[in-house]
């Protein structure tokens, strides 16, 4: 019987060809990974224009997928818009954006000096430190969908929130010339915890969320639109918003803004619409500011007078007062009642040490506790103690008027 054996003479060649193909695929994979990840490009020790090859070691201008480092001693100037992933300014280095736009999609860290005039800084990632910076008219914009931590900064330009997702949280105090919230995708700008932010421009609430966190926002602009847009964009948290300009300010938001702590200070008339402004914790009247109308008080709210100069109470002291925090008179300025006042059942009135409340000879009806650690000048006012508290505590006082008790229960 004859047996035929077939020999594949190309076997070795095919094996080699397969190995070559695998090597090519792997090479392309790693090359593409490198390209996607981007390179780290460092400036020369002297620097120069961002888009000049002579500015960078190796003669390569950073691409949009690259990281850029400004070397110690170098000054790099933007002469056209530029984009990079991570940007680091080393100690002793200087980055000047002038009137241009710098987009940073990753992390920005300024350990040296940052200068800008009417340019723009677009941050899509964390801002770990802003170092020494002079930003005259520079707009700061938060972009992208990533969660961001933003270090404190000062600019005479506006802060513009245009994220399409995620939350940007401030970790340091900021000062700016206006704040605009115009974001989508459920994105949030959170003012952080125990911080103090100041804007000398208007706050515009278009869409998205401005979360007050547990910080203070000072709005120090004289404007008929100091706080404008959709009131529901603001989520108060446990924040304080202070309208503290030396002049007239208007809260023109619609619909209602719910504030936690709300302060009106300095001077001028602060114009609000009652059903568009609600205070849920403390309304503090400070300086010589006056209100055009009373806000809506949340169930547990408090009206606090914290003035150093004598003033008559204004429209903010509603009667009857029904919010459970009651009315507090603090600081050294004498507060004089502008009309007869009534406190509903269990609603307290307190005068702090060093403070003075004068009745202006108007009748005062106490439905809750009255605590007087300061001075109570009752004149000839009638004082009425009424309502149904089981135990009602009334500090001593002097009046030449009638004192009456009309309680229907309790002592």
- Are 74 and 49 spatial neighbours (Cβ–Cβ below 8 Å)? no
Q: DSSP assignment of 4-47, as one string?
A: -----TTHHHHHHHHHHHHHHHHHHHHHHHHHHH--EEEB-SSE
pLDDT at 8 over 90: no
- Are 233 and 253 spatial neighbours (Cβ–Cβ below 8 Å)? no
pLDDT at 158 over 50: yes
Q: How many CB atoms lie within 10 A of CB 282?
A: 19
Per-residue model confidence as pLDDT tens digits over 203-215: 999 999 999 999 9
Per-residue model confidence as pLDDT tens digits over 294-353: 999 999 999 999 999 999 999 999 999 999 999 999 999 999 999 999 999 999 999 999
Name the DSSP letter for residue 213.
T
Query: Looking at residue 38, what is its pLDDT?
Result: 87
Q: What is the largest CA-CA distance in the chain?
A: 141
Q: What angle do CA 9, 10, 14 make, to 5 degrees?
A: 155
Average pLDDT over residues 138-150: 99
Per-residue model confidence as pLDDT tens digits over 92-123: 999 999 999 999 999 999 999 999 999 999 99
Q: Cα separation of 37 and 135, whole Å? A: 31
Give, rounded to a whole angstrom, the gap between the first and last alpha carbons of the chain: 126
Percent above pLDDT 90 for the chain: 86
Provide CB contacts within 8 A for 365, sequence distance 6+: 320, 340, 341, 342, 343, 383, 384, 385, 386
Provide CB contacts within 8 A for 107, sequence distance 6+: 86, 87, 88, 125, 126, 127, 128
The predicted model scores a pTM of 0.91
pLDDT at 18 over 70: no
For residue 29, name the pLDDT band (cuts at 50, 70, 90): very low
pLDDT at 10 over 60: no
Name the DSSP letter for residue 299.
T
Per-residue model confidence as pLDDT tens digits over 271-301: 999 899 999 999 999 999 999 999 999 999 9
Average pLDDT over residues 231-249: 99
**Residue 117 to residues 16, 99, 114, 134: CA-CA distances in angstroms?**
61, 6, 11, 8
For residue 147, name the pLDDT band (cuts at 50, 70, 90): very high
Name the DSSP letter for residue 246.
B
Q: Cα separation of 269 and 272, whole Å? A: 10
What is the C-alpha radius of gyration for the chain, rounded to an integer number of angstroms? 32
Q: Cα separation of 113 and 97, whole Å? A: 11
Query: Looking at residue 410, what is its pLDDT?
Result: 59
Average pLDDT over residues 42-68: 99
Percent above pLDDT 70 for the chain: 90
Question: 312 has which bridge partners?
Answer: 336
Per-residue model confidence as pLDDT tens digits over 168-192: 999 999 999 999 999 999 999 999 9
Here the tokens at position 81 are 């818009």
Q: DSSP assignment of 44-109, as one string?
A: -SSEEETT-GGGBTTS-PPPTTSEEEEPTT-EEE-SS-EEES-EEE-TT-EEEEETSEEEESS-EE
**Residue 393 to residues 349, 370, 372, 373: CA-CA distances in angstroms?**
11, 6, 11, 13
Q: Cα separation of 405 and 365, whole Å? A: 10
Query: Looking at residue 34, what is its pLDDT?
Result: 46
Q: Cα separation of 404 and 388, whole Å? A: 15
Q: Cα separation of 51 and 84, whole Å? A: 12
Query: Looking at residue 373, what is its pLDDT?
Result: 97
């Amino acid at each position: 019987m004859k047996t035929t054996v077939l020999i594949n003479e190309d076997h070795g060649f095919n094996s080699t060809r397969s190995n070559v193909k695998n090597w090519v695929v792997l090479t392309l994979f790693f090359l593409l990974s490198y390209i996607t990840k981007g390179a780290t490009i460092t400036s020369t020790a002297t620097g120069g224009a961002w888009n000049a090859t002579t500015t960078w070691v190796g003669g390569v201008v950073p691409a949009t997928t690259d990281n850029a480092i400004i070397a110690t001693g170098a000054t790099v100037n933007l002469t056209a818009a530029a984009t990079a992933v991570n940007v680091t300014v080393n100690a002793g280095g200087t980055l000047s954006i002038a009137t241009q736009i710098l987009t940073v999609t990753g992390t920005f860290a300024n350990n040296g000096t940052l200068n800008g005039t009417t340019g723009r800084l677009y941050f899509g990632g964390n801002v770990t430190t802003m170092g020494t910076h002079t930003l005259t008219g520079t707009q700061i914009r938060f972009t992208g969908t990533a969660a961001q931590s933003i270090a404190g900064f000062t600019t005479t330009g506006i802060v513009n929130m245009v994220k399409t997702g995620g939350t940007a949280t401030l970790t340091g105090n900021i000062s700016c010339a206006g704040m605009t919230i115009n974001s989508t995708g459920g994105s949030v700008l959170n003012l952080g915890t125990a911080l103090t932010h100041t804007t000398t421009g208007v706050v515009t609430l278009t869409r998205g969320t401005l979360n007050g966190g547990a910080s203070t926002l000072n709005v120090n602009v004289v404007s008929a639109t100091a706080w404008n847009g959709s009131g529901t964009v603001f989520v108060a948290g446990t924040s304080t918003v202070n309208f503290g300009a030396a002049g007239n300010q208007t809260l023109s938001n619609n619909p209602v803004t719910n504030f936690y702590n709300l302060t009106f200070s300095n001077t001028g008339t602060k114009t609000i619409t009652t059903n568009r402004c609600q205070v849920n914790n403390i309304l503090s009247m400070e300086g010589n500011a006056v209100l055009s109308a009373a806000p809506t008080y949340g169930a547990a709210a408090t009206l606090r007078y914290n003035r150093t100069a004598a003033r008559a109470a204004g429209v903010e002291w509603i009667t009857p007062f029904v919010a459970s925090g009651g009315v507090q008179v603090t600081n050294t300025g004498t507060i004089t009642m502008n009309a007869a006042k009534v406190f509903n059942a269990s609603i307290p009135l307190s005068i702090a040490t060093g403070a003075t409340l004068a009745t202006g000879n108007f009748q005062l009806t106490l439905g809750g506790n009255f605590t007087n650690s300061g001075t109570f000048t009752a004149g000839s006012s009638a004082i009425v103690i009424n309502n149904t508290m089981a135990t009602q505590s009334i500090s001593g006082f002097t009046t030449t008027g009638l004192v009456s008790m009309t309680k229907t229960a309790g002592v």
